[in-house]
Amino acid sequence: MVLTVNLQPILELTDDEFEQICDNNRDLKFERTAKGCLVIMSLTGGDTGERNAELNGQLWLWNRQFRLGHLYDSSTGFRLPNGAIRSPDAAWVSQARWETLTPGQRQKWVPLCPDFVVELKSANSTITLDFFGQEILETIA
């Protein structure tokens, strides 16, 4: 299930408030769009989870062999330059870009657009893919 809630103009979540919502609802996955919409997703099923694990395993093996950067799973949030906070199924950031971040920036949502992202398509993720893909394209354009 994917649900997008437009909180504007009634409420604009601060980063701390958004983080509190995430912490208080660990059985759901949250993202925030550049326009402040809250995207709510339920946990994945077995088939999707297995495909995600396979994908991340293959990327991990590649990254381990070449050691060119850092790999992240769907639990990592990235703060895009447009203000959105997104967490793709898999993401990779080059070592050079990672090293530009301060230790504090590495502890919170990573404040950059990943160099490589993968978002698995499932029966209920079409809308999320459209939003996520559009924000990524706008960020790198």
Angle at 34 between CA 32 and CA 35, to 5 degrees: 95
- Smallest Cα–Cα separation from 40: which of 50, 31, 53, 27? 31
52 Rama class: left (phi>0) / alpha (psi -120 to 50) / beta: alpha
Global pTM value: 0.86
- 126 band by pLDDT with thresholds 50, 70 and 90: low
For position 124, which CATH number holds? 3.90.1570.10
- Report, in angstroms and rounded to the nearest whole number, the Rg of the chain calculated over CA atoms: 15
- Domain residues for the domain of 124 are 2-140
Per DSSP, the three-state class of 89 is coil
What percentage of the chain carries pLDDT values higher than 70?
A: 88
- 127 band by pLDDT with thresholds 50, 70 and 90: low
Amino acid 125: pLDDT: 59
Q: What's the chain's average pLDDT?
A: 89
Q: What is the pLDDT of residues 49-78, one digit of tens each?
A: 999 999 999 999 999 999 999 999 999 999
- Smallest Cα–Cα separation from 82: which of 134, 139, 19? 139
**How many independent structural domains does the chain possess?**
1
Nearest-angstrom CA–CA distance, 100 and 75: 22
